[in-house]
Amino acid sequence: MKKNFLIEGCSLVALVAVAFYAGFSSPVTPATPWESIGGCGAGGSGGGSGDGIKWIGQGTSGGYLEAEVFTKYNVGQNFSAFSVNPHFSFKPTWDTKVGVTIPFMSHRGEVQYRTNQPPVDRSTGGLGDISFDFSKTIGSGGAASLSASLTIPTGQYDVKRGTDAARQILPSSFQKGSGLYSLTLGWDYSRDTDKGIWLYSLSYTHPFAMHLFSGENEFNDSYWKNLKNKNGDRFKYHFKPYGENDLGAFTPPSIGGSIAYGYRGRAGIVQSFGLNFSVPLGVAWISSEVEGSYNPRPDPDHQAWSMSLVYGIEFSNPDFPVFLAFSLPIHDKAGGADPDNEYSEKPMKKWNAPDWSDIGQQWTIAVGVKGSFF
């Protein structure tokens, strides 16, 4: 059987990410669907605003090449994640900027595929999905800018752990990549005040899949070699305009927005306060953890909305500024799987009240540095 996709929508941004929807009608050959893992996206791909941390400050002056490096530590009740995100950019003209981000990460946490199985500790790490970005200042005053970024699937997304006889594919929150391309369009606007600056952002992200040359699912000769029915665009395609990777996990498009205020009333310091909000306009699906079992299903940990509160402080220096930030996520309580039909999206689509039990149990701290050269 085949999933039918109806995509209406939007996507996620570099600063504030979230998800829109494309709907799945029915799964392929049910085998062993997996339960969620605890913490930070148990099913994994359910969409959310992320940490919402972005650099707000004076930045650097001079130089054709700019380097910005963020180191982030994210921790929850039963997981922790560490990432380093170097971003290199240059300005071909005074009002345009071109850049690339090369992320590296490690993740440790507790994984429990089914409720009748004991949880186990897993860890991963390495290169993630590389992103290329472009931005252009518009308007006579230069207060607004438009941006576009393309993320390419350089990070591994089928990392497995376990014994040789019982290896299992880890949830997407433990993977180093998504297995998808993703295009993000953004709009930013700033307004100066007497001692500060207001910043507003909107974004749209659209994941999609491509195999322009091979025209086949990456795993046709490995995981899916024993499947009898390999027809349809899940196994043979050059381009899919929706975010289903070759394992069967689906990431919906997303939209996001943010508002932040930077206070510049003290010399050498810029403090900032931000609110990021995102809404998945659809339900994410997760793949089976079993090699050779093509069995996608709705993510039981999908969040219908999420937001984050961010405080940042830049220790301004024209040559080498330093930025410190803290982020507190707030999100709705996951609907969980339908006990009568685990392939039903209905519980995940419902907007619920905030998950009060998780507020304060998860946070992110980030340290960033900048420098310009040549």
Q: What CATH code is carried by the domain that includes residue 134?
A: 2.40.160.40
Determine, yes or no, domain membership for 268: yes
Using 50, 70 and 90 to split pLDDT, how confident is the model at 116?
Answer: low
Q: What tokens does 132 get?
A: 């290329």
- Say if 230 falls within a structural domain: yes
pLDDT for residue 1 is more than 90: no
| Beta bridge partners of residue 54, listed in sequence order | none
Alpha-carbon distance of 75 to 364, in angstroms, equals 6
Contact status, residue 284 vs residue 41, Cβ threshold 8 Å: no
The answer to the question of residue 58 being in a domain is no
Residue 212, domain member (yes or no): yes
- Mean pLDDT for all residues in the chain: 83
pLDDT tens, residue by residue, 56-106: 998 777 778 999 999 999 998 888 999 999 999 999 998 999 999 999 999
The 8-class DSSP code of residue 116 comes to: T
Q: Whole domain around residue 159: which residue ranges? A: 65-373
Rounded CA separation 221/40 (Å): 32
Q: Residue 182's closest CA among 301, 14, 24? A: 14
Phi, psi dihedrals of residue 178, rounded to the nearest 5°: -105, -15
Residue pair 91/63 in contact by the 8 Å Cβ criterion? no
Question: What is the model's pLDDT at position 13?
Answer: 30
- Read off the pLDDT of residues 315-359 as tens digits, 9 standing for 90 and up: 998 889 999 999 999 998 888 888 888 888 988 888 889 989 889
Residues near 147 by Cβ (< 8 Å), separated by ≥ 6? Answer: 14, 133, 134, 135, 136, 184, 185, 186, 187, 188
Q: How far is CA 329 from CA 233, 325, 346, 363, in A?
A: 36, 13, 24, 7
* Rg of the Cα atoms in the chain: 21
Beta carbons within 8 Å of 203's beta carbon, 6+ residues apart: 11, 12, 13, 14, 15, 16, 17, 184, 185, 186, 187, 255, 256, 257
Q: How far apart are CA 187 and CA 203, in angstroms?
A: 6
In a domain, 49, yes or no: no
Residue 364 has pLDDT above 60, yes or no: yes
Residue 14 lies inside a defined structural domain of this protein:
no
Domain count, the chain: 1
In this structure, is residue 7 part of a structural domain?
no
pLDDT band at 8 (very low <50, low <70, confident <90, very high): very low
**Does residue 257 fall inside a structural domain?**
yes
- Angstrom distance (rounded) from CA 295 to CA 327: 35
